[in-house]
Amino acid sequence: MDITALTLTELRDALRRGETTSVAATQAMLDRIVAYDNALLSYLTVTDEMALEQAAEADRRRAAGEDTPLLGVPVAVKDIICTAGVQTTAGSRILEGFIPPYNAFVVDRLIAAGAVILGKTNTDEFAMGSSTENSAYVTTRNPWDLERVPGGSSGGSAAAVAAGLAYGALGTDTGGSVRQPASFCGLVGLRPTYGRMSRWGVIAFASSLDQVGPFGRTVADVAALLGVTAGHDPRDSTSLDAPVPDYEAALTGDVRGLRVGVPREYFVEGIEPEVEAAVRAAIEQLAALGADVVEVSLPHTRYGLPVYYLIAPAEASANLARYDGTRFGPRVAGADMIDTVRQTRALFGPEVKRRVMLGTYALSAGYYDEYYGRALKVRSLIRDDFRRVFETVDVIAAPTSPTTAFRIGERTDDPLSMYLADIFTLPLNLSAGCGLSVPCGFDSRGLPIGLQLIGDTLQEARILDAAYAYERARPWHKRLPVVAAEAGDLAAEAGDPEATD
Ligand code: GLN
C-alpha cells in the first residue's frame, strides 16, 4: 500500500484497521515535503518535530484503544490561522516572527480530533489576492504546472494537498480563497456559511466576510474536516449556535429530485470556452443522475465585484490599524513615535497598502455614505437575489472561476484582472449561504476545472451530497498531478526512487 496516495478518509480508515501508523504517514508526508516543496513552495513553516511527536502520541492512544475522528491524520493549516508556539505570519513581513500564544479555535478542534499538524501554508499577504503572488515570502507553484499559480489566497494549502504533501488542509475564504484555489488545483474546497466556523484566532482581513474552509481530495475528506472544525464558539460573537450534523454520514449520492438552479449571469463573456463546456457537462451529469435543472437569475451579480472591493478594503483598513509595531511582530524604530509607526507600517506590501488606502477613503467622513454605505445597500440586494432563488431551488450550480490556473506574473501588473479571478465566488461571500468547488474535468493543457455548488444558509450537507453524487459518477480526483517528473532532480536528490506522483 502506498500510503501517500490515500485520501484523508482512506488514511483514517487504514489507521483504524491498523494497516499503517500515524508515524509512518506523517514521516511519508515530511519526506515528500523535503523532496518536492523546494519546487512547490507550499509551506512557510514545517513543524516536523511537533508533527512526529503528535503522530507518536496518536499511535500510543490508538494502541490504548482510543479513537477520535482524525486520530493520527496529518494535515496543514494556512498561515493566517494562529498556532500556539508556531510562527504565524499571514504572509506578511509585518508579522514576521510573530508566535501566537494560543491556537485558533479550528486548530484546537483539529488537535482534539487527533489530527497531526504538518505546518503552516503560504498565503497572499493577509489573504488579499488570488494567486499567492502577494505573499511577502514566496509564490507557491501549481502542482499541475509549476509555471502557473495555485490560486489564492489559500494557494499554499491547495498546492500542498494536491501534491500529496498533506492529506487535507484548512484555508480561509473571504471572497473565494478556498474555492478558487481548489478549482485551480483539482481539489474539493468548501466555504461554510458565515458563522459556521469560529473566527477566533484567525487573523482578521474583512470581518463580515471571513470564514475558515477545508480542502480535501474528495468530498468525503472535506465533509470529515468540516465536521470536526465547525461548531459554536462563544469567543466569536458571530459564531452560530447551530448543531453540527455528521456531514460524512449524510453523503447519500442521491440527487433524484434535487432542484438545481443555473444562474445565467455566471456564463458571461470572459469565461474560457473549455471551462464553460466542462461546467455545463457537469450540470448535465447531475441531470442524468436525476436532478431537476432549471435556469435562474441572480440579477445583481455584476455588482458583486465593486461591492466586495468597497466592503473588504474598508473592513481591512480598520482591522490592519492594529499593526503599528507596538503589540505584534517587528518594530522599525524611527525618530519618534509617529515615525516608528510610519516605518513599521511600510512593511506592508503593495496590495495591502492599496487596500488600506481604498478602505480608508471609502470610510472617510463625507464619502462614507456614498461608498461604504451604498455598498452595504447593494450587498443586501445581492443577498436578496440568493434568498429569492433559494425559494425555488435547492442548489445553485456554476463555474468556480472563469479560467483555469493562469501563469505566474500574468496578472500581477493589473489588479483588476487579478480581482476578476473571483468574479464567480465573491457574490456568495456577500450573501448568507455556503459553497464549494468540486473537480469537473481538465482543459486541453491538462489544468483542472472546478464546478461550484452553492447552497442556502447552513445547507453544507446538501451541497456536499450533490458534489458527492457528481464525484461518484465522474471521479476526476483519481487523476493526480505528476509533480515528481517536473521536480525530478529534487526527488532524485532526496533519494526517493519510488516517487511517481
Ligand atoms: N481574491 C480576493 C481578494 O483578494 C478574495 C481573497 C480571499 O478570499 N481571502 O480579496
Query: pLDDT 10s digit of each residue in the chain, 501 long?
Result: 899 999 999 999 999 999 999 999 999 999 999 999 999 999 999 999 999 999 999 999 999 999 999 999 999 999 999 999 999 999 999 999 999 999 999 999 999 999 999 999 999 999 999 999 999 999 999 999 999 999 999 999 999 999 999 999 999 999 999 999 999 999 999 999 999 999 999 999 999 999 999 999 999 999 999 999 999 999 999 999 999 999 999 999 999 999 999 999 999 878 999 999 999 999 999 999 999 999 999 999 999 999 999 999 999 999 999 999 988 889 999 999 999 999 999 999 999 999 999 999 999 989 999 999 999 999 999 999 999 999 999 999 999 999 999 999 999 999 888 999 999 999 999 999 999 999 999 999 999 999 999 999 999 999 999 999 999 999 999 999 988 544 444 443 443 434 333
Please count the residues of the chain: 501
- Ligand 1 pocket, residue 157 CB under 6 Å: no
Q: Confirm or reject: Cβ of 153 under 6 Å from ligand 1.
A: yes
List the one residue out of 462, 453, 427, 425 whose CA is nearest residue 261.
Answer: 453
- The pick from 180, 420, 422 for probing ligand 1's pocket by mutation, whose C-beta has the most ligand atoms within 8 angstroms, reads 422
Q: Is the dihedral of CA 465, 467, 473, 478 positive or negative?
A: negative
Output the CA 153–ligand 1 centroid distance in Å: 6
Contacts of 179 (CB under 8 A, 6+ apart): 173, 189, 190, 191, 213, 400, 425, 435, 436, 437, 450, 452
Rounded to an integer, what distance in angstroms lies between the CA atom of residue 466 and that of residue 351? 37
281-311 pLDDT per residue, tens:
999 999 999 999 999 999 999 999 999 999 9
Residue by residue, DSSP assigns 12-46 as HHHHHTTSS-HHHHHHHHHHHHHHHHHHH--EEEE
Residues with catalytic function: 78, 153, 177
The DSSP code for 371 is I
How many angstroms does the Cα of residue 209 sit away from the middle of ligand 1? 10
Q: Is the peptide bond before 153 cis (omega within 30 degrees of 0)?
A: yes
Atom of ligand 1 minimally distant from the CA of 154: 9
In the block, which residue shows the cell 471571513? 210
CA–centroid distance, 207 to ligand 1, in Å, is 13
For residue 464, the 8-state DSSP code is H
Strand order in the sheet with 43-46: 43-46, 116-121, 74-78, 169-172, 212-216, 188-191, 434-442, 448-455, 395-399, 259-263, 292-296
CA of 50 to the centre of ligand 1 (A): 31
423 alpha carbon to ligand 1 midpoint, in Å? Answer: 11
SS (H, E, C) 85-103: CECCCCCCHHHCCCCCCCC
- DSSP symbols for 51-73: HHHHHHHHHHHHHTT---TTTT-
Question: In Å, what is the CA distance from 165 to each residue of 119, 158, 240, 344?
Answer: 10, 10, 32, 35
Cell of 270: 470572459
User: What is the residue with the minimal CA distance to atom 10 of ligand 1?
Assistant: 128
Angle, vertex CA 156, rays to CA 236 and CA 329, nearest 5 = 60
Per residue in 405-417, pLDDT (tens digit) is: 999 999 999 988 8
Residues 6+ apart with CB under 8 A from 294: 259, 260, 261, 262, 392, 393
Q: Please, are residues 441 and 278 in contact by the beta-carbon 8 Å criterion?
A: yes
Report the nearest atom of ligand 1 relative to the CA of 129.
4
Ligand 1 and 130: CB distance under 6 A: yes
Cell of 340: 516608528
Inter-residue contact 29 to 54 (CB < 8 Å): no
Beta strand 188-191 with 212-216 is antiparallel
Nearest-atom number in ligand 1 for the CA of 152 is 1
Pocket probe mutation, ligand 1, options 126, 177, 308, max atoms within 8 Å of Cβ:
177
Which amino acid, 193?
A: T
**Helical pair 8-16 and 22-40, crossing angle rounded to 10 deg:** 160
Nearest Cα to 261, choosing from 466, 82, 54, 93? 466
Question: From the alpha carbon of 178, which atom of ligand 1 is closest?
Answer: 8
Is 127 close to ligand 1, i.e. is its CB under 6 Å away?
yes
The set of cell numbers assigned to 435 is: 459553497
- Report the alpha-carbon distance of residue 346 to residue 189 in Å, rounded: 34
> 99 CB contacts (<8 Å, ≥6 apart)?
85, 86, 87, 88
